[in-house]
Amino acid sequence: MIKIIITLLCTFILAFNPQVKAETKSSSSGYLWVAALDAGIYAAKFNQDTGKLTDIKQVEDKHNGYFIAKHPEFNIVYLAERLQASSRIHTYRIIQDGHLQHLSSLDGLPEGIVHISVDNQGNNLAAAYYKSSYIGIYQLTQNGQQVSVRYQNQHIGASVHSRQKAPHPHWSGFSPNGHFAYFADLGSDHIWVYQINPHNNTVNLVQKAPAPAGSGPRHIAFNQAFDLAYVSDELRARVSLYKVSQNGGKLSYLTSTKPLPELQHEAWFNVSDIKLHPTGQFLYLVNRGFDQVSVFNVNSSNGTLDFVEHEPVRGSISRHINFDSSGKWALVLAKESSTVAIFKVNVQTGALTFNKPVYSIPTPMAVVY
């Protein structure tokens, strides 16, 4: 009887109070978090129906944010912080309204952290250290709240470009099954492949996959459907394709797109981030040289690339692009202009349409949704 009365009462309240009724409907909004260098971390509420941001606010001001990653299962985010002679990785719990609760820190890491990532299983976190030539693979506790050192290694090598006098790991990532970790090394012109033994969690270097001389591999996007890796070549302003061995995780260079003519004269502000759309149909390459995103269609038969368009980023010096969970929207961060622009993704062609306005967030480096 009590349950019936409570049910009737709730029904009455919803029927005669439109505000309560609206708030109980399923929401298409969720929060995103931006690593914002000396401004720490910013949060914003993102509406997947309109592609608009609201409730933009600073949620971390004690630690600088060079890169940010999210746990695949839990409401946990990880922040890479650069110090003068070392680095840290911080762990936060996501709480109400996009705010964060600091849980733990891993101190005393190598200098110059530039990128972090978490495997699909939530077992390991990888980090690349551009300045000190180190890479690291770190163990996560079962609840994702603690990070500890599993393996670190300092790369060696050089290549032909003036920026390649020493190794510069710039990106970290994992195979879908979490058994291999990959590090794009801009300075050594190699992609370093490490195997993580699932039985005893030991780590071994299994390959230094060579890139064409002077390429400067920066970031990687994996296409599991075709066992391909797309690599943004910072020093050549292009995309290189590599075949991924299904069993061994090793990479074999296949081919490269033509250098973008607008960027051939650029030695520093060349291509940066690269992302495969969640559908696997389109590839997006961020160009800092002329502040545009290059859009490619992924051939449905072999995974090769066909150019679609260049879309202006509405900002200056973009380092990162990402998608919301629906794949309908692309978010492009521009560091020097301290702006975030949002674009509607054409599901047929992959083309981007700017969705006004441009949002102001200090020095945005990376975003997770």
- Please check whether residue 356 lies inside any domain of the structure: no
Task: For residue 147, give Cα distances in angstroms to 103, 332, 358.
Answer: 10, 29, 36
- Please check whether residue 239 lies inside any domain of the structure: yes
**Structural domain range at position 191:** 63-259
Q: How confident is the model at residue 30 (pLDDT cuts 50, 70, 90)?
A: very high
Digit-coded pLDDT (tens) for 102-127: 999 999 999 999 999 999 999 999 99
Contact 228, 246 (CB under 8 A): no
- Burial letters 27-59, b for 16+ CB under 10 A, else e: eeeebbbbbbbebbbbbbbbebeebbbeebeeb
pLDDT of 323: 97
- Please check whether residue 24 lies inside any domain of the structure: no
Write out the two tokens for 4. Answer: 């019936």
Backbone angles phi, psi at 183, to 5 degrees: -135, 115
Q: How confident is the model at residue 262 (pLDDT cuts 50, 70, 90)?
A: low
Q: How confident is the model at residue 43 (pLDDT cuts 50, 70, 90)?
A: very high
Mean pLDDT over 162-189 rounds to: 97
Query: What phi-psi label fits residue 236: left (phi over 0), alpha (psi between -120 and 50 degrees) or beta?
Result: alpha
pTM: 0.91
- Please check whether residue 134 lies inside any domain of the structure: yes
Q: How confident is the model at residue 258 (pLDDT cuts 50, 70, 90)?
A: confident
**CB under 8 A, 24+ apart: contacts of 294-301:** 294/260, 295/350, 295/351, 295/352, 296/239, 296/257, 296/350, 297/349, 297/350, 298/223
pLDDT of 266: 55
Query: Which sign, positive or negative, has the C-alpha torsion 255, 256, 258, 264?
Result: negative
CATH number of the domain at 254, please.
Answer: 2.130.10.10
Helix (H, G, I), strand (E, B) or coil at 239: strand
Digit-coded pLDDT (tens) for 307-328: 999 999 999 999 999 999 999 9
Q: How far apart are CA 172 and CA 153, in angstroms?
A: 13
Provide the percentage of residues in the chain whose pLDDT is more than 90: 85
Higher pLDDT, 214 or 258: 214
> What angle is formed at CA 218 by the lines to CA 116 and CA 194, rounded to 5 degrees?
60
CA atoms within 13 A on the CB side of 279: 18
Q: How many distinct helices (H) and strands (E) make up the chain?
A: 2, 28
Digit-coded pLDDT (tens) for 340-355: 999 999 999 999 999 9
- Please check whether residue 179 lies inside any domain of the structure: yes
- Please check whether residue 45 lies inside any domain of the structure: no
Nearest to 108 by CA among 88, 132, 83: 88
- Please check whether residue 309 lies inside any domain of the structure: no
Digit-coded pLDDT (tens) for 84-101: 999 999 999 999 999 999
Q: Is the pLDDT of residue 273 over 70?
A: yes
- Please check whether residue 347 lies inside any domain of the structure: no
Q: Is the pLDDT of residue 12 over 80?
A: no
Alpha carbon of residue 178 to chain centroid = 17
How many distinct structural domains can be found in the chain?
Answer: 1
Q: How far apart are CA 361 and CA 41, in angstroms?
A: 10
Contact 140, 158 (CB under 8 A): no
pLDDT of 131: 97
Write out the two tokens for 69. Answer: 């990653």
